[in-house]
Amino acid sequence: MNVKISWALPFNNYADIDMYRIYIRDTSGNNFNLDEVNCNGSNPQIITERFCLIPMNSFRQAPHNLVLDQEIVVKIQAHNIRGWGLFGQSTGGLHVQSEPDAMDIPFRNEQTTNKQIVVEWSLLPSNRIG
């Protein structure tokens, strides 16, 4: 599963954008980390299309270390011959999702016979994904 991070063309002060920096807020909520691995803002395709696809599981790993259901917040900075611009407004709204939780252990139903096994299991609570 990927998360699409996209942004509008910023005011470029009448010079072409030649690079972006894409920062992702970490689990503490206090720091933003530059992501050059999953969203390399010097890639010509990313510069032109102004989006990148980041694997969901990368948000769960260092340096971001986000946890299940934590908001993904991104901020973008553009560069051209005049230098680095101001950060665009931070964007959020998406939440970290993950692999499903392990289900509870299934058990044999009382209707099990020597010819048929009837298995039951309990539903996960709504605060767990599955």
- How much is the pTM? 0.72
Contact 75, 20 (CB under 8 A): no
SS3 91: strand
Tokens linked to 128: 């767990």
Average pLDDT, the chain: 87
**Residue 72: other Cβ atoms inside 10 A:** 20
SS3 107: strand
pLDDT of residue 34: 94
* Nearest CA among 129, 48, 50 for reference residue 95: 129
Q: CATH number of the domain at 2-95, please?
A: 2.60.40.10
Distance of alpha carbon 96 from the chain centroid = 6
pLDDT single digits (tens) 49-78: 999 999 988 998 999 999 888 999 999 999
Residues 6+ apart with CB under 8 A from 85: 10, 11, 12, 13, 77, 78, 79
pLDDT interval class at 100 (50, 70, 90): low
User: For the chain, which residues make up each domain, given as ranges?
Assistant: 2-95
Task: Tell how strand 32-34 and strand 51-55 pair up.
Answer: unpaired
Dist. CA 98–CA 69, nearest whole Å: 8
pLDDT interval class at 13 (50, 70, 90): confident
Q: Lowest mean pLDDT of 54-58, 75-79, 95-99, 117-121, name the range.
A: 95-99
